[in-house]
Chain A
Amino acid sequence: MNIKHKTLFLVVSSVILVGLALPGYSATPKKGKAKTISTAVISDTARTIAPYFSPATAKKMTPDSKGFIQRWLLLEPINKPNRGNTVFTDSYLRTNFSMEYFPNQFTVLPKNGDKVKVGEQELTWHALESSLFNVKLFRFAYGLRKQYYGVIFWAVTVVNSPQEMKNVRMAVGSNSASMWWLNGKEAVLLSGDRRMVADDCVSPRLTLNKGKNIIRGVVINGPGMSDFCVRLLDEKGQPIKNLTITYE
């Protein structure tokens, strides 16, 4: 049993505001290429985004050994109060994901450190690499001392393909609901009060362009540990790994 499903601690989280801390990834994180799933318990009681994230670099990065994309530009959470996740119906999500939160939100390829204004909030884009197969948005927000419940997260990454690939599918899991686009075209919507499960929802067949492709996603959560995982599958359902991931 987890009472979080019944109660949103917005009161608590809403007082956790911008600017209370050093940049969260100041600690030296574990880095490397294809990370395998570790069962070791890592110490994470310090309020930092390490060991979940490290700053993105210009080094060549491919998807991990299972094809999960770990390099992302993440926007600090947008305040979106929801006392529970039962409101995340398809129509609610389409309405709220089509609203403009910041200029050019469906086209911009931000740079690390870029700032946007969302209502009264000034939010920063962070170019990061996840140390896990999934991107733990809760830890991103908590580590940066931002609010972590009642939020919307935007994520962007660039997938560089050595050739055009047809019949590709985008496989996504997210906590909670989310929506994803490939090169500006809607790929997949995950509705309802969801938990992140790898390959939970998969897009229809898509085409990866030769060269640069932009994946954009938006994740919404009320109370709960927001996160997502994304990988691309080939026409046989196998993860595509001969890609490079950049953030610019």
Chain B
Amino acid sequence: MENASIQAATWFWLLIPMPLVVVLSFVNLIVNRGK
């Protein structure tokens, strides 16, 4: 892989999945509100 694409993949894996689970937890909180 090109150097630039390796670094892009690195930042992707670092910066996408972890914030995503926080967003999903927030969605879950909204969906379950009042249940």
Partners in one complex: no
